[in-house]
């Protein structure tokens, strides 16, 4: 290691770059540092601005790092920090080394824009902060992502709506979509950088404005569920309702394989307690508690080679008319009629895509930015 006041060497520079390559880099960066397998890497997918420095034959003189090389590595370090935390790391700023001579005038060194060793420690500190980020306990900053409806390659929304007034239902209806990535590495980059697939649903119209009807119950279930997120954290698939939404999510080490998903990753069970208690029913009546919204998931092939995620969203209208809904709270049932759902139900799928930038000296730099994956509707709610 260089002493205080000496230039940073190529080896020291490359070691810092290599320390963040596995966390931030794409396949090419991994390969440069000997981290990639024959075909795969799983960093955030950043194509580094900095390059490996090839040292000269005279340590401390020709084996040195210039101001521009230092700045390039600073950009890569800040890219990781900004994407993780939403802010730039303040340990070191380019103003600390831009245009400064770090050697006395009487020292004969041809290149006087060399950067002195104390800044090597500052770079190490920033790299350590980036590497300490743990997605298992801390979410990426929300400003580092863009949310949009999942769309086909032609730009058409992959959402699906069923008009209950013309096409009522009282069974299970299904919305299945495939989310396609360019290749396996792009899928890994998306997931490693905190990318997610998100879901929500709603029911409007019909009798959804009338309490205790089936349409009303479905509208209450889906509104209470809110938005569901699905991603990968510390080697596990995580599915959960975003607060204050409710429902039963999962943390799974694996999901099914193939075009027909069989792994249940989320469920929102039906049954809404009415707000009309009576002397005979002081707690109110829970109705339609057999109905449920479910999401199943799979990868198109084994995860080690996967290029797509497949989701099957089910609206399971399993209640057969036995929950008190034919009368009023506190009164006996007057029959077991299985009513139709006559409201309009909509199922949405979203991409939550890494898309972070930062500004230095009035210039906007890309941090971790990826293209949103495309979708295909395999089964609509028709």
When mean pLDDT is compared across 9-13, 106-110, 238-242, 368-372, the lowest value belongs to 106-110
- DSSP annotation string for 117-173: THHHHHHHHHHHHHHH--TTTSPPPGGGEEEEE-B-TTS-B--EEE-TTTS-BSSEE
| pLDDT tens sequence across 219-238 | 999 999 999 999 999 999 99
Confidence bin at 112 (pLDDT 50/70/90): very low
Q: What is the pTM of this model?
A: 0.89
Cβ atoms of residues 189 and 22 within 8 Å: no
C-beta separation of 191 from 232 below 8 A:
yes
Concatenated DSSP letters of 2-59: PPTTSBPPHHHHHHHHHHHHHHHB-HHHHHHTT---SS---S--B--SS------SSB
Q: Closest by alpha carbon to 79, among 3, 36, 21, 137?
A: 21
Cβ contacts of 12-17, under 8 Å, gap ≥ 24: 12/65, 12/120, 13/53, 13/65, 13/69, 13/70, 13/73, 13/120, 14/52, 14/53, 16/73, 16/77, 16/120, 16/123, 16/124, 16/127, 17/48, 17/50, 17/52, 17/73, 17/76
What's the CA gap between 347 and 342, in Å, rounded?
Answer: 16
Tell me which residue of 269, 374, 304, 361 sits closest to 71, measured CA to CA: 361
pLDDT at 250: 97
Q: How confident is the model at residue 58 (pLDDT cuts 50, 70, 90)?
A: low
Predicted confidence at residue 118, as pLDDT, reads: 56
Among residues of the chain, what percentage have pLDDT more than 90?
69
Strand runs labelled E in 280-362: 286-287, 292-299, 308-316, 344-360
pLDDT digits (tens, 9 = 90+) for 138-185: 999 999 999 999 999 999 999 999 999 999 999 999 999 999 999 999
Taking CA atoms, 144 is separated from 154, 235, 367, in Å, by 25, 21, 9
Kindly provide the b/e burial profile for residues 266-304, where b requires at least 16 CB atoms within 10 angstroms of the residue's own CB: bbbbbbbebeeeeeeeeeebebbbebbbbbbbbbbeebe
The 8-class DSSP code of residue 332 comes to: -
Task: Report pLDDT digits (tens) over 75-85.
Answer: 999 999 999 99
Cα 50–Cα 53–Cα 56 angle in degrees, nearest 5: 160
How does pLDDT run across 256-266, given as a tens digit for each residue?
999 999 999 99
Closest CA to 131 of 253, 226, 41, 43: 43
Strand partners, 364: 359
Pairwise CA distance, residues 229 & 251, whole Å: 12
Whether the pLDDT of residue 108 is over 90: the answer is: no
Note the maximum CA span of the chain: 102
Q: What is the mean pLDDT of the chain?
A: 87
Higher pLDDT, 121 or 325: 121
pLDDT band of 9, cuts 50, 70, 90: confident
The predicted pLDDT at position 330 comes to 45
Q: How far apart, in whole angstroms, are the C-alpha atoms of residue 249 and residue 237?
A: 10
Q: Give the count of beta carbons closer than 10 Å to the beta carbon of residue 34.
A: 8
Lowest mean pLDDT among 28-32, 167-171, 296-300, 318-322: 318-322
Average pLDDT over residues 82-110: 68
Decide which of 26 and 101 is more confident. Answer: 26
Q: What is the C-alpha end-to-end distance of the chain, expressed in Å?
A: 67
pLDDT value at 110 more than 90: no
């Amino acid at each position: 290691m260089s002493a205080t006041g000496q230039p940073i060497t190529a080896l020291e520079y490359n070691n810092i770059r290599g320390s963040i390559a596995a966390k931030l880099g794409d396949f090419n960066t991994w390969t440069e540092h000997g981290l990639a397998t024959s075909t795969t890497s799983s960093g955030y997918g950043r194509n580094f601005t900095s390059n490996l420095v090839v040292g000269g034959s005279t340590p401390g003189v020709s084996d040195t790092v210039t101001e521009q090389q230092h700045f390039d590595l600073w950009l890569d370090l800040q890219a990781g920090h900004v994407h993780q935390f939403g802010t730039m790391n303040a340990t070191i700023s380019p103003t600390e080394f831009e245009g400064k001579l770090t050697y006395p005038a009487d020292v004969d060194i041809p290149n006087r824009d060399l950067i002195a060793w104390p800044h090597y420690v500052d770079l190490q500190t920033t790299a350590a902060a980036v590497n300490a980020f743990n997605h298992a306990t801390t979410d990426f900053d929300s400003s580092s992502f863009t949310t949009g409806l999942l769309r086909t390659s032609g730009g058409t929304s992959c959402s699906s709506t069923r008009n209950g007034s013309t096409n009522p239902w009282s069974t299970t209806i299904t919305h299945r979509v495939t989310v396609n990535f360019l290749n396996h590495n792009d899928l890994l980059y998306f997931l490693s950088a905190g990318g997610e697939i998100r879901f929500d649903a709603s029911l409007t119209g019909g009798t959804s404005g009338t309490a205790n009807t089936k349409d009303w119950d479905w509208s209450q279930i889906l509104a209470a569920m809110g938005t569901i997120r699905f991603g990968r954290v510390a080697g596990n698939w995580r599915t959960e309702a975003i607060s204050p939404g409710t429902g039963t999510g999962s943390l799974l080490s694996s999901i099914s394989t193939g075009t027909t998903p069989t792994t249940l990753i989320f469920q929102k069970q039906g049954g809404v307690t009415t707000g009309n208690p009576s002397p005979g029913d002081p707690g109110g009546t829970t109705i339609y508690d057999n109905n449920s919204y479910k999401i199943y998931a799979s990868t198109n092939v084994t995860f080690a080679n996967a290029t797509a995620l497949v989701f099957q969203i089910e609206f399971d209208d399993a209640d057969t008319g036995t929950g008190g809904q034919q009368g009023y709270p506190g009164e006996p049932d007057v029959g077991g009629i299985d009513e139709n759902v006559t409201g309009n139900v909509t199922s949405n799928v979203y991409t939550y895509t890494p898309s972070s930038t930062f500004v230095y000296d009035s210039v906007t730099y890309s941090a971790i930015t990826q293209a949103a994956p495309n979708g295909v509707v395999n089964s609509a709610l028709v």
